[in-house]
Structure 1
Amino acid sequence: MSLLILGIESSCDETGVALVRSTGADVPTLLAHALHSQIDMHQAYGGVVPELASRDHIRRVLPLTQAVMAESGHTLAEVDVVAYTRGPGLAGALLVGAGVACALGAALGKPVLGVHHLEGHLLSPFLSADPPEFPFVALLVSGGHTQLMRVDGVGRYEILGETIDDAAGEAFDKSAKLMGLSYPGGPALSRLAEQGDPLAFKLPRPLLHSGNLDFSFAGLKTAVMTQAKKLGDDLEARKADLAASTQAAIVDVLVKKSLTALRETGLQRIVVAGGVGANRLLREQLNAACAKQRVRVHYPELHLCTDNGAMIAMAAAMRLQSGQQQARCDYAFDVKPRWPLDALEAQQAPR
């Protein structure tokens, strides 16, 4: 049976809407998507302002929905399921997407389905031209989350290791702020790093030899702060070197922990998802390391690494196809600003 699934993402500072077609057998097909980023609005504040984010989602979500339907050649009346991000994320921002999705569902008389934001990232490589196959190791590097997990199927996730303090994305952003780089810090640091020497400063690789697959980047941030203070007036001249050394430390940990996870699980396939998955150095070093081990690496398309509606629609489609969840028509909703991925199956069981 063919289903048209509309996905709405509003967990933080991007408003995303997309339409996918699920046939129940093959990988769902992305028909159209639209995205609005709030970066310019938040730049003046050096970070995301939750209230402003929520208000902007309200302004953007319906025009984006209209654009997606026009691009796809379908009408809202043809939509079979409306999916939305239920969590984790900013409470007010999540409420906008959930409220609009449930209102649309009620108006159309169609069921709705709440999706876990991180599961959306995790399954986003299935939207690529080279989709993975189960089982695989997943490196999830999105915002405040850095996790390694074994993925045996939709909803069948075993966490192998996760961050115990700052995540990789936070290490990029906080280090960038310490260097005086503009928001969003992570991409700015990565761009500056291309001009620097990654061996210029000896920075720590936290938990690299811990014997487990957990991550910790708070100590690296502190080391960057200490080094920046030592440089003093010379920081501006050495900023590119410090950025390159910082990026090298983060990528080194991510790559080596990923290889350890592959070795321990015996799997020959890895998926990298989340915003940090767009980092050029991470892709280069992981590709090279996995080629030596004859391991397949899969990523989302670059434009789908950030938060987007396509990954929410895709996750909903794959949950429905696998029988992991049923869409509902009662239209009462809640959001989960804090929602561990390993609690997903219990929280979203069919009802």
Structure 2
Amino acid sequence: MYSESYPLAEVASIPSAEHSLSDPYMMARMLFFMHLGMSGSISSASEKMGVSISSGSRWLADLEKDIGCQLYRRNNKSQRLTEAGVYLHNKFFLIHEEVCQLKRALSDFSTVNQGTIRICCTPVYAGKFLIPIVARYLAMYKRVNFTINVSAFGIRSWKEYDIIIGAINSLNSHHDDELPLVRRNLMCEPFVTVASPAYLALNGEPKHPSELSQYHCLYASSLTGGNEWAYALNDERHFYKVAKSLEICDSALLRKAVMAGAGIAYLPRYVVQQDINSGRLATILNRWKTSDWLLNLYYPSQRYMTGCLTSFKEYLLEQHAKVLEQGIFAADTL
């Protein structure tokens, strides 16, 4: 945690507000420095601001010259910000948050639904479900823009997005408890252990989860958190390491690989339900209970949401509910 202490002698060297406001680039430099404090890298901060590294370095030098003290240690990787730099970063970060909140509040005065919505969505939901919802929303609101990143790891960069649709293993769900976001569950499905009949005919069927290490296993760390699969019998839960035969961080491709006979997979039931019903895949280790796969929607609390973001979030939930009612979450739709 950054300290709020700050030498009085250095405070006296900070230029007056009148001088700062007369410099049209001061706010840009301050914003650059805020990104620098968060990333610790001039190149990363420059990329965030959309300027060259040389321009970013010059902005930092100009800011230090204007303030009259060093803010950033260029040759100390373990402690980049000076004490003055820490103080400035913390104070300006709060100012930046207030400005963003003010902008959101002012957007509510507009009767026109407009703005940009940044979304990160897990691949299993993006193509067949999110994109049609976005397309229908765009048809209704011509002045709304979207930027969509398809990734299973949106939570890791949650500050970059307005909405995240992400999947998580129920056993790891506590990892996002401390995020300052509202979490709303969209789906909860048990994992099932499956293989193609041809693979089982050729290799035999494991009778206990501990035998999985002797088989080709297909896994996605984005689904299970690693190469350990959870099984419970008589309320006793155990984790079993599986062979790292094939990792594919996309459940649709993982389904295709297990269908092709590449090995055994541990997948959310809805992904393979139709394949199981048709006999294209067989379930194994059915005596054991598995963990659950959770598809969650993450978004800011109401005080940080624009009218545009609130409108789309409500529309997304409405459309998702219709998808559930129609029962179209199935393998053939992926």
Q: After TM superposition, is the score higher than 0.5?
A: no
TM superposition score normalised by structure 2: 0.24
Larger RCO: Structure 1 or Structure 2 (Cα < 8 Å, ≥ 6 residues apart)?
A: 1
TM superposition score normalised by structure 1: 0.23
